[in-house]
Amino acid sequence: MTINSSSISQEIMKPGRKKKKVKKVMGEFKRKKLKSSSGKKVTSRKQAIAIALSEAKRKKRKRRKS
């Protein structure tokens, strides 16, 4: 069985809400408006992605509780 990169990326980005959150946060990063929890500006792309996924996960948990 062969696994190509497009099938992997589709599987990772399946949930639509997570995709929206990542898009929003990466836009903030691009415009230099994204800040970490300590209040400092985020300069690393990897850190921006980690923040986006963390926020999406937090929102999903909050939605599940209510």
Q: Determine the length of the chain.
A: 66
| Structure confidence at residue 8 (pLDDT) | 47
pLDDT of residue 31: 95
The model's confidence at residue 1, banded by pLDDT at 50, 70 and 90, is: very low
Q: What pLDDT, in 10s, does the model give residues 2-60? A: 555 554 455 455 556 678 888 899 999 999 999 998 999 999 999 998 998 888 887 77
Are the beta carbons of 15 and 8 closer than 8 angstroms?
no
Are 36 and 47 in contact, with CB atoms under 8 Å apart? yes
Would you list the DSSP string of 14-65? --HHHHHHHHHHHHHHHTT--B-TTSPBP--HHHHHHHHHHHHHHHHHHHHH
Backbone Cα Rg of the chain: 14
